[in-house]
Amino acid sequence: MALWTTTIVLTGCSDFLDEADPSNFTEENYFTKPEHATSSINAIYASMRDPLESGFNGGAWMMTEFATGLAATDLGQAVNSYFVKDLNNTSDNTYGQTYWRAYYQGIANANLSIAKIPQIAMDGDEAKRLLGEAHFLRAWYYFHLVRMFGHIPLITEPVALQSEQLRPAPAEPEAVYNFIVEDLKAAEAAGLPWRDASGRVNLGAVKSLLAKVYLTMAGYPLQKGEAYFDLAAKTAQEVISSGEFSLFANYAALHDPAKKNIEENIFMIQFKTQILPSNWQVSIIPYNKNISQYADETGGIYATADFVKSYGSDDLRAKEKQFFFTKFTHEADRKKEVDLGGYFIYKHFDMVAQTSTANSDLNWPLIRYADVLLLYAEASNEVNGPTAAAYDAVNAIRMRAGLPILSGLSKDQLREAVWKERWHELCFENNTWFDMVRLRKAFNVNTGNFDDYIGHQFSYGPTLKERELLFPIPTSEILNNPNLVQNKGY
């Protein structure tokens, strides 16, 4: 099973995107110089980009968006989108396969770097920082895989074709979560800077992810409760108290390439125009409405009208060309306005690429400061109830949206108010489905309340079942590894 074997693909992010082809190297003769250590770390980042590849067959990144019941599509040939959207998913869905293979490739590269870098004669502090990046990235991949697929193999060392671990048995989810925490603790102690404008892993990203891991462990499936809510709150508070991050003044900054890796953008997947341009722009524009310089206009994903209407009438995020857009100019005549027929995703829209270059310089957000604030508000409320600090955190999000501040709420009321802000603020950033699963709750766009996950009916008809708490392990992986066990219901 080639997935588990180690390879080096020297691509990374930002100004370290353009690495040389390493195909003439072998593991034995490669890890001999400090620059080899850096290149091996760059290779680990590359796997983050694979799910974002989009076109007329859709894109794997859409999987967790359609699973929320808040997304629509006009791309009839992207059958994998419909399988998820209509809750008819199967283990043959290539979206899940893309995540599984890409993320385990990232893990394999991380395992190799962690094993080999200590053997290289190089500056000790630099080696420690590079290893910190590797530990963070391995944790990132495992955190996503365990939440998507449940019982997954836990591979912690390089695996060769002769290894007994070539076809590993799945681990208990709690063991995977504990390993993730260990990795993040190692990254936390690696001497990384709080911020990194080049896009490399930074201490802000490490602590933010650790807080999110603790928050998830407090909820389902582990249900570790108050002690982990407390850990999540305290870790998120460290990010807030650092003073290194801040909310953008307006939503336009969320899709401004000039705002890469600064202020609100704590950690992102890196793209670079003309070298590795953003690869999802064709999927967020309507199907063949002739508004874009891109040749392909796929209508791959957009928000349901019911979801957009669930925002308050005064919520700036739901206004035209904030988070969504319903009209745009015609590519042949920018004075002519085109009705798009739906609520398309403006928060990921690269204006320059769409209207002139068709070559996007936009990054994809992974961790925003807004997420940290809402995470803190939720976790601290679970431990201490409504406090001034919890209100400050959630109200910062609401004030930017033009909404009145919250006050005088009970613990239960503040809990659901924060959840609602998470749904409305972090939509279409691959966050919402993970919130649904850890909470076992789903936002009802018609009532404005939260339903139990199992039994929640999407606004367009399908009803969530227990099996939708996980995605199916890809058929190809089951066939290649008889030790894997398919998730219930698939």
Residue 70 near residue 444, CB atoms below 8 Å: no
Is 485 a member of any domain? no
Q: Do 421 and 335 contact (CB within 8 A), yes or no?
A: no
Could you tell me the sign of the dihedral formed by the alpha carbons of 332, 337, 340, 344, in that order? positive
Residue written as token pair 């939260």: 450
Provide block-wise average pLDDT over 10 residues at a time, the chain (490 residues): 40 44 57 92 96 97 98 97 98 98 97 96 95 98 98 93 80 98 98 97 98 98 98 98 98 98 98 96 97 97 98 97 98 97 98 98 98 98 98 98 98 98 98 98 98 98 98 96 96
> Exposure string (b/e) for 203-241, b if CB count within 10 Å is 16 or more?
bbbbbbbbbbbbbbbbbebeeeeeebbbbbbebbbbbbe
Torsion over CA: 419, 420, 421, 424 (sign): positive
The answer as to whether 211 is a domain residue is: no
pTM of the model: 0.94
Q: Could you tell me the two tokens for 264?
A: 């609100």
Assigned domain for 334 exists: yes
| C-beta neighbour count of 475 within 10 angstroms | 16
Give how far Cα 102 sits from Cα of 95, 98, 388, Å: 11, 6, 42
DSSP string, 325-362: EEEEEETTEEEEEEEEEEEEEGGG--HHIIIIIS---P
Q: Is the residue at 262 inside a domain?
A: no
The answer to whether residue 243 sits within a structural domain is: no
Is residue 335 included in any domain, yes or no? yes
Instruction: Find the domain containing 287 and state its range.
Output: 271-362
Structure tokens at 158: 């390089």
Is-cis flag, bond preceding 22, omega within 30? no
13: how many CB neighbours lie within 10 A of its CB? 24
- pLDDT at position 25, please? 54
DSSP labels for 356-418? IIS---PPEEEEEHHHHHHHHHHHHHHHH-S-HHHHHHHHHHHHHTTPPPP-S--HHHHHHHH
Query: What's the pLDDT at 27?
Result: 64
- Residue 328 CB contacts under 8 Å (≥ 6 apart), including other chains: 289, 291, 337, 338, 340
Tell me whether residue 449 is in a domain: no
Residue 236 placed within a domain? no
How far apart CA 373 and CA 396 sit, in angstroms, is 8
Cα 188 from Cα 137, distance rounded (Å) = 12
Q: How many domains does the chain have?
A: 1
Query: What pLDDT is stored for residue 159 in this prediction?
Result: 87
- Cβ–Cβ < 8 Å for 170, 486: no
Q: Determine the Cα–Cα distance for residues 443 and 456; give it in Å rounded to an integer.
A: 9
